[in-house]
């Protein structure tokens, strides 16, 4: 497991760790025994061996990292989750965290304060992703894309939005078009985001180093500046996508949101 070097300007204390996964290897016993019964059962319901390896190895790595920062044995850590499935430590002081995995790579982000989100995705040809443009891009982004063929690549735009929404702990599909990202990075290497969510301070996001063929991003928000809770955001911004469009998104982009 490798700790990534983050962009200048990332708040102090934020960490991102990258885990290389051998999807053909058997599930490691030392990983398997760290999982709770519910986690183990959830992993065993996965249809493909590679998915089981991804789930178990990533969860075990997360437990080890959190154990080192809380002093609680990794197998003793207990998690809770919000209405959208974003987990947090239960009855234990420790960092906020978020996890993403795609292909042979997993990312784990830790934050001592505030809320953090991370996303990594395997890149796909832009033409293959064309059906998703209208589901992901805000109206202003669609105009920019029509005017400028060098606009931010779709997958880069996607991982930034998902990382920020995961930091907020929101349903991702419902709020993708509430965020707009300029095609250039502002100093010091920070994405410039505009949004219509009830958050009083700017949402922050940075690119992450990723293996060839992947795109990755880190999102962060100081929760002290969130004007209302997640429940209020849900009431003000009801589900934006009908079910068939949700299925289209999940068909193209598979990821873990824990």
Name the residue ranges covered by the structural domains of the chain: 2-117, 123-252
| pLDDT confidence tier of residue 110, bands split at 50, 70 and 90 | very high
Judged against a pLDDT cut of 80, whether residue 113 lies above it is answered with yes
pLDDT, mean of residues 134-144: 77
pLDDT, mean of residues 55-76: 97
Identify the pLDDT of residue 152: 75
**Helix 49-70 / helix 37-44 crossing angle, nearest 10 deg:** 160
Spacing of C-alpha 234 from chain mean position: 19
Average pLDDT along the chain: 83
Do residues 121 and 102 touch, judged by C-beta distance below 8 A? yes
Angle at CA of residue 133, ends 131 and 135, nearest 5°: 90
Q: How far from each other are the two terminal CA atoms of the chain, in whole angstroms?
A: 18
Identify the pLDDT of residue 238: 44
Which of 40, 181, 155 is closest to 103 using CA atoms? 155
33 Cβ contact partners less than 8 Å away, ≥ 6 residues apart: 75
pLDDT digits (tens, 9 = 90+) for 182-221: 756 666 677 888 888 777 766 899 999 999 999 999 999 9
Identify the pLDDT of residue 18: 99
Do residues 227 and 196 touch, judged by C-beta distance below 8 A? no
Between 207 and 125, whose confidence is greater? 207
Identify the pLDDT of residue 12: 92
Between 143 and 72, whose confidence is greater? 72
Between 170 and 227, whose confidence is greater? 170
φ, ψ at 224 (rounded to 5°): -65, -20
Judged against a pLDDT cut of 50, whether residue 239 lies above it is answered with no
pLDDT, mean of residues 38-47: 94
Helices (H), 105-200: 133-136, 139-147, 154-168, 172-175
Do residues 175 and 162 touch, judged by C-beta distance below 8 A? no
Distance CA 176, CA 195 (A): 10
Between 258 and 115, whose confidence is greater? 115
* Architecture of the domain whose range is 2-117: Alpha-Beta Complex (3.90)
């Amino acid at each position: 497991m490798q700790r990534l070097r983050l962009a200048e300007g990332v708040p102090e204390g934020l960490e991102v760790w990258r885990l290389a996964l051998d999807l053909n290897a058997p599930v490691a016993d030392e990983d398997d025994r760290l999982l709770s019964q519910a986690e183990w059962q959830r992993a065993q319901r996965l249809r493909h061996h590679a998915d089981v390896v991804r789930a178990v190895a990533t969860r075990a790595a997360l437990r080890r990292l959190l154990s080192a920062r809380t002093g609680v044995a990794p197998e003793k850590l207990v998690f809770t989750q919000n209405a959208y499935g974003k987990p947090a430590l239960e009855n234990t002081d420790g960092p906020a965290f978020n996890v993403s995995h795609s292909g042979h790579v997993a990312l784990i982000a830790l934050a001592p304060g505030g809320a953090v989100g991370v996303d990594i995705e395997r890149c796909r040809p832009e033409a293959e992703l064309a059906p998703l443009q209208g589901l992901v891009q805000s109206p202003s982004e669609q105009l920019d894309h029509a005017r400028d063929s060098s606009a931010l690549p779709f997958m880069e735009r996607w991982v930034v939005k998902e990382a920020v929404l995961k930091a907020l702990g929101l349903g991702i599909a419902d709020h993708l078009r509430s965020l707009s990202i300029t095609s250039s990075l502002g100093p010091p290497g920070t994405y410039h985001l505009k949004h219509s969510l009830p958050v009083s301070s700017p949402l922050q996001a940075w690119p992450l180093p990723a293996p060839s063929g992947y795109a990755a991003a880190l999102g962060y928000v100081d929760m002290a500046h969130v004007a209302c809770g997640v429940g209020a955001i849900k009431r003000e911004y009801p589900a934006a996508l009908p079910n068939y469009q949700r299925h289209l998104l999940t068909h193209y982009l598979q990821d873990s949101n824990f």
